[in-house]
Amino acid sequence: VLPAWILLGLWFLWQILVPQQGVANWAHAGGFLAGMVTVLIMGGRTTILKGREAEFEEDLFDDDE
């Protein structure tokens, strides 16, 4: 089993090194890089999970019922 970052890195290299007709390799590579930059700017998945964990804890310990 490979970590996702290794698999995605290999896929990225494959897009550049093995040209295929009819496939916009640079568009795929650009989309990959844009996604990585977006993740870095937004702080990754942990930012999303922190908010959801807080909501879950509020529901779990809510005594108003």
For position 53, what pLDDT does the model report? 65
Helix or strand (DSSP H, E) at 29: helix 25-42
Q: Give mean pLDDT in consecutive 10-residue pieces for the chain, a chain of 65 residues.
A: 85 79 75 86 65 62 59
Give the residue among 27, 25, 35 at the shortest CA–CA distance from 4. 35
Give the residue among 35, 31, 3, 4 at the shortest CA–CA distance from 15. 31
Residue 33: both structure tokens together: 């890089």
The model's pTM:
0.45
